[in-house]
Structure 1
Amino acid sequence: MPSPRPTPAPPIRDERRRPLSSRVAARRVDLFLLLVAIAWGSSYLAAKTLTDTVGVTVILSLRFLITTLALALIWLIWKRRRAVRRELIVGVVLGLTQAAVLILETHGIAGTSATNAGLIISLVVVFTPLTESVAFRVRVPRTVFIAGVIAVVGVCLLVSGDGFAAPTLGDMLVLAAAVVRSIHVTAVSALTRGRGYSALNLTLAQSAVCAVVYTCADYQGVLQAVHSFDAGEWMGVLYLGLACSVFAFLIQTWAIQQTSASRVSLLMGTEPIWAVLIGTTIGRETLTLLGILGAALIITGTYLGLRSETRHREAPMPAA
């Protein structure tokens, strides 16, 4: 009886041998995520200008009321299907985590220095691979952690103009925001990937939850702001609601369904760079030599992390 033929070994995937269309699609996802990072980087200057006149909760309420109305209009124009029950539940859960991230982050920034806030919130680059590893019970490449450390060191240099002060309540709130944001990104990946959920439906549900939470927290302040805002303040709120929320959240939810949470987090880790660039140009702030070095380290860490995460995700499964 002849012996059975040996099973051929699975082909080794190579980034250069992938179909051109697949590589173009991956680069397109990365590009859109970078645009989200730019929008969020610019949100600091816009939010800082608005919070000088009204409270944090009022700004967040108006921002997400505008976001919800815009998303509802988009939903009606595109005639998207109605959200199923499970899809709606997922949207509500993600909306609560997103609301927690923004309220912790915004109040934390108001209670600490820009140096501490920029350093602590960037730790999400390190936290997300950890939460993803726990959630999916997979091993994250060591290079991803090294890349995260490099990026955090870069942020330290980038925002080291005033030095690192002793931790305050604001520091702890920003740290909590970084932890919750990493959990939120991982939850989006775990709850939506492979289930065919509509990114628009999920984003609309999340935005509606945030609008309800923030408005109920200070509805009197919201009513006062509506009657007292001038044209410039409304422009700032519209920018936060449309560019930093509608565009950003739609792209983030869609992109996480196309790639991994760690890759999304690494690309989002470039947010401090765009915040500094916008601050030095529009806000006319100064950038020291250490800041330039920090920006270079963030770019290096992001690139190394992306390369390592891509190779790990596309590696062939071991043969049985």
Structure 2
Amino acid sequence: MLSARRTDAVLLLVALVWGSSYLAAKTATDALPVLVVLFARYAISAIACLVLVTAQNQGRYTRDEVRVGSLLGVTQAAVLVLETYGVAHTSAANAGLIISLTIVLTPLLDRTAGNGALPPRFFSATGVCLLAVTLLMSGSGFHAPRAGDLLMLAAAVVRAAHVALVGRATKGRVVRPLPLTTIQTVVGSVLFLVPAAHGLDDLTRIDAGSWGRLVYLALFCSVFAFLAQTWAVQNSSASRASLLLGTEPVWAVLTGILLGGEKLTTLAALGAALLVTGTYWGQSIERTHRGSTIPQGVAGRAEAPTGA
């Protein structure tokens, strides 16, 4: 009983950390250009991962780990570009809610799970989620959606494609989580080095608070959350892990409101409620239909550092 509670607590902590990552990323981009934030986050994560790999004597990478990690490093970087630019131009609460669309979009793109076409009820859940996003984007009234909301919507689509690619690229191959993540963070660091080069001097002028947010994004929202989530999922049922990790958008809203001073209008609050309901409903339908041991909502979190 104590072990189960400890595992549940770790899963909730991971969801909370990922939910808070949107506010952390938003405030970090207030002090630094987006590309500099991304490079710093990747570089700090890569250093931490390399230290862990060395400490655990996992320094010899297989060909599959290098190939798959390099490919996924590129697609993961694309996701984080969209997410970070998106959260810079919308609220942290909206960002965390909209990105949760990944849960219902991934099964539509994934062809590795099998078991035939998804039932009509799943598409009903997807429709509820799309209606919810429309309400979120409307804010205080219906108008042209904000650029940040559209970027987060694009990020959800790209992340869903990334998760589907993870399943396809790792199927039939033995890849270890930590080396795979290390390669992805190194690839991301290399990809963002040149685009961010002109703004790297800004890192020498930011205050301790800004550095703290960068370290939090790298070590807690990426490295810690990934490793803790992997451990917790191995010590819990897939359904329970999925349910607890699925609270991420709730934490995104709470941190945005309580710590970021953000506000949800009545229309946006209705959209938030519908989105959480729709994603949980769609996740439940997909899990039952596929009959897989790891639901897509969890699989999407298991392969790489996530959050904004």
Sort the TM-score into its range (normalised by shorter chain). Answer: 0.7 to 0.9
| Aligned twin of 2:298 | none
In 1, the alpha carbon distance for the partners of 2:110 and 2:234 equals: 14
| Aligned twin of 1:206 | 184
Contact 2:49–2:178 (8 Å) recurs in 1: yes
| Amino acid corresponding to residue 307 of structure 1 in structure 2 | S
| Aligned twin of 1:238 | 215
In 1, the alpha carbon distance for the partners of 2:186 and 2:291 equals: 36
| Aligned twin of 1:313 | 290
| Amino acid corresponding to residue 38 of structure 1 in structure 2 | L
| Aligned twin of 1:300 | 277
Rate the CA distance shift 1:145–1:249 in 2: closer, same or farther, 3 A.
farther
Deviation of 1:240 (Å): 0.4
Tell me the TM-score normalized by structure 1: 0.74
Structure 2 unaligned segments of length 5 or more: list them: 293-308
Question: Equivalent residues in 2 for 1:94-133 (5 A)?
Answer: 94-111=72-89, 121-133=99-111
- Structure showing greater relative contact order (alpha-carbon pairs closer than 8 Å, 6 or more residues apart): 2
Deviation of 1:248 (Å): 3.5
84, 99, 121: which one aligns with 1:143: 121
258, 267, 273: which one aligns with 1:281: 258
159, 171, 188: which one aligns with 2:166: 188
1:228 aligns with 2:228: no
| Aligned twin of 2:302 | none
Deviation of 1:297 (Å): 3.0
* More deviation, 81-90/29-38: 29-38
| Aligned twin of 1:55 | 33
In 2, the alpha carbon distance for the partners of 1:200 and 1:217 equals: 27
Tell me the TM-score normalized by structure 2: 0.76
Question: Equivalent residues in 2 for 1:249-260 (5 A)?
Answer: 249-250=226-227
| Aligned twin of 1:84 | 62
Rate the CA distance shift 1:179–1:28 in 2: closer, same or farther, 3 A.
farther
Rate the CA distance shift 1:113–1:200 in 2: closer, same or farther, 3 A.
closer
Contact 1:122–1:155 (8 Å) recurs in 2: no
Residues 67-91 of structure 1 deviation map (CA, whole Å, 9 limit, x = unaligned): 0111111111222252201211100
| Identity within the alignment, % | 51
| Amino acid corresponding to residue 179 of structure 1 in structure 2 | V
**Higher Rg:** 1
Residues 98-139 of structure 1 deviation map (CA, whole Å, 9 limit, x = unaligned): 101111232244456779866754543442121114885842
1:177 aligns with 2:170: no
Deviation of 1:144 (Å): 2.8
Contact 2:85–2:148 (8 Å) recurs in 1: yes
Rate the CA distance shift 1:108–1:165 in 2: closer, same or farther, 3 A.
farther
| Aligned twin of 2:305 | none
| Aligned twin of 1:17 | none
Q: Secondary structure at the match of 1:163?
A: coil
In 1, the alpha carbon distance for the partners of 2:287 and 2:234 equals: 15
Pairwise CA RMSD of aligned residues?
Answer: 3.9
